Amino acid sequence: MTTPFVIAVDGPAASGKGTLSRRLATQYGLRHLDTGLSYRAVAHALLSADLSLEDEAQAVEAAREVDFAGLDPLVLSTHEVGEAASRVSVHPAVRRVLVEKQRDFARVAPGAVLDGRDIGTVVCPDADVKLYVTASPQVRAGRRHREILRLGGQAEYGAILADIERRDARDMGRADSPLRPAADSHLLDTSGMSIEAAFLAACAIVDEALGAKN
Ligand code: CDP
C-alpha cells in the first residue's frame, strides 16, 4: 500500500467511538488520534490560565501550542474540560489551526484512525472509510453513568442525560463544522450492540475498503 490508509470515525458524546477507534487502530496497525483531546487541550489551557472561553485570540494561541504527542487523557478527560471543549470548539479560527495539525497527522504512513465530530466531513473528506457511530441519548447516558460508577465516582443519570442532550445540540447546531454524518459514511447505531459487535461490524466495512484499495 503506497498512500496512507485513513479511517474517519465521527459521532456524538459517549457513542463509543473512542473505544472503537482504538481497537481499529490496533487491528489494522494504524496510528490513532482522538481529536476531541486536542479541543480539550485548548479548553484546559484557557481554564488553567483563568482566561475566558469566549476569547478567540487566546484560544487560537493555545491551539497553536497543542502538541498531539503530549496530550494526557487523565488530565483532559474531566467533565468540566469536556464541557469547556464544546464551547471553545465553536471558534472557526481555533478549528482551522487544529484541523491543519490533524491533517498532518493523517498524512503520515501507514495511515491513521481519527475520531471526532468533523473527520469525515472536513478534516479527511477523502478518507478510505468513514464511520458514523451513534446511539440513542438514553443509551449513551446510561453507558456514561455506569462508567462513572464503576470508577468509584458519583453521578445522577438525569443530569448526565441533560448534559448529553445539551452537548448534542451545541455540536450539531454550530455554524462551523457541525456534527453530521458525511454523505458517504457508514452508519453504525450501537444502541442495541455490544462493543464487540460494533467492532466486528466496523471490521467488515474496513476489510471491504482494504480489498478495494489493494
Ligand atoms: O468524549 P466526548 O464525546 O465527551 O468528547 P470529545 O470527543 O473529547 O470532544 C469534546 C468536544 O470537543 C466535543 O463536544 C466537540 O464540541 C469538540 N470536538 C469538535 O468540535 N471536533 C472534533 N473533531 C472533536 C471534538
Contacts of 94 (CB under 8 A, 6+ apart): 39, 42, 56, 59, 60, 63, 88
Residues near ligand 1 with C-beta < 6 Å?
13-14, 35-36, 39-40, 82, 85-86, 89, 116-118, 167, 171
pLDDT at 125 (0 to 100): 98
Point out the ligand 1 atom lying closest to the alpha carbon of residue 98: 23
Whether the Cβ atoms of residue 14 and residue 167 lie closer than 8 Å to each other: no
The pLDDT of residue 93:
97
> How far apart are the C-alpha atoms of 145 and 158, rounded to whole Å?
9
Place of cell 466531513: 121
- The residue whose CA is least distant from atom 15 of ligand 1 is 86
What is the separation of C-alpha 29 from the centre of its chain, rounded to a whole number of angstroms?
A: 19
Whether the pLDDT of residue 1 is over 60: the answer is no
Nearest CA to ligand 1 atom 17: 86
Beta-bridge mates of residue 44: none
Task: Write the residue with the smallest CA distance to atom 6 of ligand 1.
Answer: 36
Residue 92 predicted with pLDDT over 60? yes
Q: Which pLDDT score, from 0 to 100, does residue 213 have? A: 83
CB-based contacts of 165, cutoff 8 Å, min separation 6: 137
Q: 16 alpha carbon to ligand 1 midpoint, in Å?
A: 13
List pLDDT tens digits, range 143-182. Answer: 999 988 998 989 999 999 999 999 999 999 999 999 999 9
pLDDT tens string 174-213: 999 999 999 999 999 999 998 899 999 999 999 999 998 8
| Distance between CA atoms of residues 158 and 72, nearest Å | 29
Mean pLDDT within 125-143: 97
pLDDT tens figures, 106-125: 999 999 999 999 999 999 99
Looking at ligand 1, which atom is closest to the CA of residue 89? 20
Q: Which amino acid is at 25?
A: A
Q: Is the confidence at residue 105, as pLDDT, over 70?
A: yes
Sheet strand arrangement including 129-134: 31-34, 111-116, 5-10, 129-134, 186-189
Quick one: angle between helices 157-173 and 79-88, nearest 10? 20
| Prior bond of 110 cis (ω within 30°) | yes
Residues 6+ apart with CB under 8 A from 197: 190
- Is 197 within 8 Å of 141 (Cβ atoms)? no
Among the atoms of ligand 1, which is closest to the Cα of residue 167?
14
Looking from the CA of residue 118, the nearest atom of ligand 1 is 23
